[in-house]
Chains A and B, each alone.
Chain A
Amino acid sequence: MPDLHDLHTLSAAYALDALDDLERRAFERHLHDCESCSLEVREFSEATASLAARVAEPAPARLHSAVMSEIGRTRQLSSSSGRPARRFGQGRLLAGAAAVLLVIAGVAGLGGTAWREHRLAQEARTTAAGITRVLTDPDRIETTREVSGGGRATMVMADGGAVLSTRGVPDAPSGHEYQMWVMRDGTVQSGGILSVQDGDGSAFMTGLSTDVRLAVSVEPAGGSERPTTTPVVELGAS
């Protein structure tokens, strides 16, 4: 839930549809009484509409025929109404989707914690940019699988990069860690340690070809050179 006192600062997140369902409703109630917020939301919506224009793509011809034939059967609303017609999204949002994703720079090799932290600091910026690229690529491929032992893992892949994230995964047994593997043409390479906290973990990898499969297995702390247990999940783009 949002802090009610900072509803004012939510106008941008609202205009970007980046609020969850509860926050969105709270903010919309607030909008009724806040003239300056309404004005700001309107201005922001004009700005985001410009962002929309940038991703225009030729709509399929069959969309045109479908829409034109539907309007003949679709009753129009009259202008007089108390309820704004634009409020209609009924989709249910995933509850509590606010996962804390820990991004680690899981590139090649294993290395110790110190190495990883050093690497992390160095690459934090590039990593953020890389993740953004992958997650906003219109051609991204997304796969979700159940993890044996509980939880789910999702892989989003685009342009040689992959974001692997988990939700609801149990902690690795004491003295063990989750390790990622990159598999291609019968070869297996370590993808680094996947640190999972409260079920959530996330890693970003680059330099992948689209035909790789990713797997995660439970390994002794520090990692293994080859998987020593059956992977708890395996994800591929195809």
Chain B
Amino acid sequence: MVGRQEVAPGLSSVPEPGETTEALLERVGRGDEAAFEQVYARVADVVFGLARSVLRDPHQAEEVAQEVLLEVWRSAARFDAAKGSARAWIATLTHRRAVDRVRSSQASRNRDQAVASRSNEREYDEVVEKVERTLDAERVRHCLDGLTPRQRDTVTLAYYGGRSYADVAGLLKLPLGTVKTRMRDGLIRLRDCLGVGSDA
């Protein structure tokens, strides 16, 4: 699914120079710090934003983002472009780590603390500006709109909210099997709409 010169949509918030993120990662794997700097510029906003979507607390999101970006540096040599795009690899690392943290008991202990630091959080939020809508973001939105409300609910609760499918089933009062099916149908529809993976 890699091998085209165009970089998959979304991860890039800077003008795209010729080199793909996959190619950059190969250089990062050989210890090239300048290449890592470029990778950072392309992915940091998504890594941070995704971690924040799941963890909600910007300080924890920052910690997770730092762990993930260091992991990218550490394991770049083991990134295998034959198994997927760079952006999918990095988004997967980020989501997994954020979800693990939010479900750990440590995170629940921190919840009250997060509420206590709410005023700081608000200040922080004022500084944070929404990234400008790109055409890619519009396309994703369009594809999300193409899901049935139930499919959309299950997919977004799991992905943006970091909920397990059992949680989703409980919250939406649906049988477990139904939730699994809706997640699957939803992702199939998303995949087809976005046209990802069909060029493998």
Contact = CB atoms under 8 A, between A and B. Distances in A.
A147 to B, nearest CB: 15
Contact of B62 (A42, A60, A101): A60
A103 B45 CA distance: 35
Interface stretch (A108-116, A138-146, A211-219, A223-231): A138-146
A48 B159 contact: yes
A10 interface: yes
Interface string A73-111: 011111101001110111111100111111100000000
A135 B163 contact: yes
Given A54-B141, A59-B65, A74-B73, A94 B103 contact: yes
Contacts, number: 320
B70 A67 contact: yes
A68 B37 contact: yes
A47 interface: yes
A4 interface: no
Interface string B2-44: 0000001111010000000000000001010100110010001
Contact of A63 (B44, B163, B167, B191): B44
Contact of A60 (B48, B50, B78, B170): B48
Contacts of B95: 17, 48, 52
Interface in A1-36: 6, 9-13, 15-20
B100 A89 contact: yes
B145 interface: no
Contacts of B187: 12, 15-16, 44, 47-48
A98 B184 CA distance: 19
A63 B170 CA distance: 37
Given A55-B160, A76-B74, A86-B93, A237 B115 contact: yes
Interface in B75-127: 75-78, 83-85, 87-97, 99-101, 103-106, 108, 111-112, 114-115, 118, 125
A132 B144 CA distance: 14
Interface of B: 1, 8-11, 13, 29, 31, 33, 36-37, 40, 44-50, 52-53, 56, 58, 62, 65-66, 69-71, 73-78, 83-85, 87-97, 99-101, 103-106, 108, 111-112, 114-115, 118, 125, 128-131, 136-137, 139-141, 143-144, 149-150, 153, 155-173, 180-181, 183-184, 186-188, 190-191, 194, 196-198, 200
Interface of A: 6, 9-13, 15-20, 39, 42-60, 62-64, 66-68, 70-72, 74-79, 81, 84-86, 88-94, 97-103, 124-125, 128-129, 131-132, 135-136, 138-144, 163, 200, 202, 237-238
